Amino acid sequence: MKSWHPPLILIALIVPAAIGFALGGPGLGISIAGLSLVALAVVAMLVIPRDPIGHTPDPARARRLLVVTTFPIEDARAIQRVADEVRLGFDENDSEIRLLTPAANTFLRRWATDLENARDRAQRDLVVSVASLTLAGVDTTASVGDEDLVQAVEDELATFDATEVFLLTRGDPDSEAAAQLRDRLLPSFHHVDLR
């Protein structure tokens, strides 16, 4: 949002209501003000952020990987595929790897702000994934993020300055989150489908 946007929004809310008050009295003015607020809320909900996420990686820095998954990495084929993707010609001992899982929640639990079950489920998935990857020789740290995958990545990159981001999906090669991350991420992005 630019610095001139808030005053413009305020003017767009006040001027129509003032004209309504002047021309039709309080009934019309309040109605127009209400419609203006509803229109503002609808526009705010439909706007999709397009700002870049993360920082441009410095080539002189050590390799730092953020691996994002919405499911536990536990079967042998998936573990080997992730290990191969993460190594990509590098020694994993030279890389710092962070595993991120969003805390996905149901509509009713979200509405009731009950995040505990979602966070517990995400932590269980992370424990399984970290243990499986450690057995395969890939040392990682782990973090639970926001239920919105793109928001979780953005939040994590605020504290973990990754040079590469891997999104692991299972049977969803055209994921909307993957498309948003591909467009907005400054670190290099890799989408790995583990079907």
Query: Which tokens hold the place of 115?
Result: 């995040």
Q: What is the pLDDT of residue 184?
A: 93
Q: What is the pLDDT of residue 88?
A: 60
Choose from 3-7, 67-71, 132-136 the range with maximum mean pLDDT: 67-71
Q: What is the pLDDT of residue 109?
A: 73
Please check whether residues 69 and 110 belong to one and the same domain: yes
Please check whether residues 75 and 156 belong to one and the same domain: yes
CA distance 178 to 190: 9
Q: How does residue 187 score in pLDDT terms, banded at 50, 70 and 90?
A: very high
Q: What is the pLDDT of residue 28?
A: 92
Q: How does residue 91 score in pLDDT terms, banded at 50, 70 and 90?
A: low
Please check whether residues 108 and 188 belong to one and the same domain: yes
Query: Which tokens hold the place of 77?
Result: 């084929």
Residues 6+ apart with CB under 8 A from 91: none
Query: Which tokens hold the place of 92?
Result: 């994993």
The domain total for the chain is 2
Q: How does residue 158 score in pLDDT terms, banded at 50, 70 and 90?
A: very high
Domain span including residue 85: 63-193
Q: What is the pLDDT of residue 93?
A: 59
DSSP string covering 53-120:
BS-PPPTTSPEEEEEEESS---SHHHHHHHHHHHHTTS-GGGEEEEEEEE----HHHHHTT--HHHHH
What mean pLDDT comes out for the span 51-80?
87
Please check whether residues 155 and 124 belong to one and the same domain: yes
Query: Which tokens hold the place of 98?
Result: 């962070």
In the predicted structure, residue 118 carries a pLDDT above the cut 80: yes
The model carries a pTM of 0.75
Look up the CATH number of the domain holding residue 102.
3.40.50.620
Please check whether residues 98 and 141 belong to one and the same domain: yes
In the predicted structure, residue 162 carries a pLDDT above the cut 80: yes
Please check whether residues 160 and 76 belong to one and the same domain: yes
